[in-house]
Amino acid sequence: MKTSLLSAFVLAVCAGCAALVADDSAGGSSQLGSVRAKAKDVLGALPDKMPGGENDSAQLVALGRKLYFDKLLSVNQTISCNSCHVVDNNKGGVDGEATSPGAFGKRGGRNSPTVLNAGFHFAQFWDGRAPHLQAQAKGPILNPIEMAMPNEAEVLNRLRASPDYTALFDQAFPNAGDKITYDNLAHAIAAFERTLVTHDRFDDFLKGDDKALNSRELRGLDLFLNTGCTTCHQGPLLGATTYQKVGLIHPYENKEDLGREAVTKDEDDRYKFKVPTLRNIAITGPYFHDGTRKTLKEVVPQMAHMQLDKQLTTDEVDSVVAFLNTLTDKPRRTRK
């Protein structure tokens, strides 16, 4: 009975959403405006700059860009930051792997999250162990499974031996006494990452473009707003503002990764992870913290079941997935 009522409601919503793009009447415009108003209130558009970006010089960003792509920062010079968080070649800030191979081919236990828009997140890493981009940038270089450099001193020795880096650090930190430091390295990488702000059709819709979304995408947005998804996936990032237990109502099969509990040592944080952003979600799979789901058509009904105790129809799933595809950065949206 409950499912039938929900389906009837969804069909009514779908009919209304279809009318939004086909009917220029006052009623249709009003209904479209209502959906937009709720989306703006609960979600909102991404700002044009990440916090702190207004203070980053061109020289600092240029240094950070070079460091981000430089394999010199890995012990055997085989991988860079970009190896796991690919931002060139139209990629979505991930490598497309369930878990990423490090300098020696050994894989970590968690999926590499996208670096796109990461400076807007309230914390970094799945478990939130780094409070901001600069702290996050320090970790992988010294992680024995990832870039595996033995210590900060060895990293700095490599940089100081390079005439290019000597000049670039001097330009980026003209007033610093000791310019090539580990803190400055992380500062520069973070500055480059703060430039990775994306722009998508959903923001176009929020800013008043009535034709930015088609009828199915509008239907998916309405379902997203009214089914319960925004309990966790809220704000301009559609996530990345809270921690939540994976398997809130129905358990998730992976019981080995304790999530945030490993950081806080608090049993109440068991299986809690940072709620991932849904911006660019269509091009940042595979999904979940362990990278076990390959497609959004798998993820959407599983999340509805695990977190909301709801069963979505195939049409509902397709509509929500259609909406999620509108969150892809426009320059990257042609990626297959």
Q: Is 146 an active-site residue?
A: yes
Domains of the chain, start order: 53-193 (1.10.760.10), 198-332 (1.10.760.10)
**3-state secondary structure string across the chain:** CHHHHHHHHHHHHHHHHHHHHHCCCHHHHHHHHHHHHHHHHHCCCCCCCCCCHHHCCHHHHHHHHHHHHCHHHCCCCCCCHHHHCCCCCCCCCCCCCCCCECCCCCECCCCCCCCCCHHHCCCECCCCCECCHHHHHHHHHHCCCCCCCCCHHHHHHHHHCCHHHHHHHHHHCCCCCCCCCHHHHHHHHHHHHCCCCCCCHHHHHHCCCCCCCCHHHHHHHHHHHHHCHHHCCCCCCCCCCCEEECCCCCCCCCCCCCECHHHHCCHHHCCEEECCCCCCHHHCCCECCCCCECCHHHHHHHHHHHHHCCCCCHHHHHHHHHHHHCCCCHHHCCCC
The answer, yes or no, to whether residue 335 has pLDDT greater than 90, is no
Residue range 154-163, pLDDT digits in tens: 999 999 999 9
When pLDDT is cut at 50, 70 and 90, the band that residue 5 belongs to is very low
Q: What is the pLDDT of residue 334?
A: 60
Average pLDDT of the chain to the nearest whole number: 92
Share of the chain above pLDDT 90, in %: 89
Annotated catalytic residue within 146, 193, 217, 316: 146
Residue range 230-241, pLDDT digits in tens: 999 999 999 999
Residue range 204-218, pLDDT digits in tens: 999 999 999 999 999
Q: What is the pTM for the complete model shown? A: 0.90
